[in-house]
Amino acid sequence: MNPDDELARALAFTAPTDPYVICWRDLDPASTTEELETLATWITWATTRYNLDHKVIPPCWPHHGAIIEELSALRTFWEACYQADAAPSDPLAFHRDLTLALRRLRDWSSLLGCGRTVHRPEPEVG
């Protein structure tokens, strides 16, 4: 695929009309797959728009629960900030919180040890 086409598609991304909070714990497998696909579309847009690399969001992000939760919360916040009834200051609030979220994502990615081409499963708990 032409990188320019992929960039254009990512920059043309638009949010759904109604933002919603996802409780990943409560989803059945089919709903989880569907929501991950929707989240992946937003992540493609966000990584392009904010020039984020694998040190912030590793390609294997769908295999890491904490990263999914963080990215999902960011997407919901972003969607809410750009609704017709949003306050004019909401996008600034998103960017303030984005800074904190990117730090957490960078820390998690570093702890996991995943890279651009390497996935490391999370250690077993217990």
Task: State the chain's maximal CA–CA distance in angstroms.
Answer: 47
For 38, 53, 66, 104, 115, the CA distances from 91, given in Å and listed in that order, are 21, 22, 24, 20, 30
Domains of the chain, by residue range, sit at 51-120
Question: How far is residue 109 from each of residues 24, 35, 70, measured CA to CA in Å?
Answer: 20, 21, 12
List pLDDT tens digits, range 96-110: 999 999 999 999 998
Render pLDDT for 73-88 as a digit per residue (tens, 0 to 9). 999 999 999 999 999 9
Structure tokens at 79: 């969607």
- Alpha-carbon distance 84 to 80, whole Å? 9
Q: What tens digit of pLDDT does each residue of 18-50 get?
A: 788 999 999 999 999 999 999 999 999 999 999
Average pLDDT over the chain reads 87
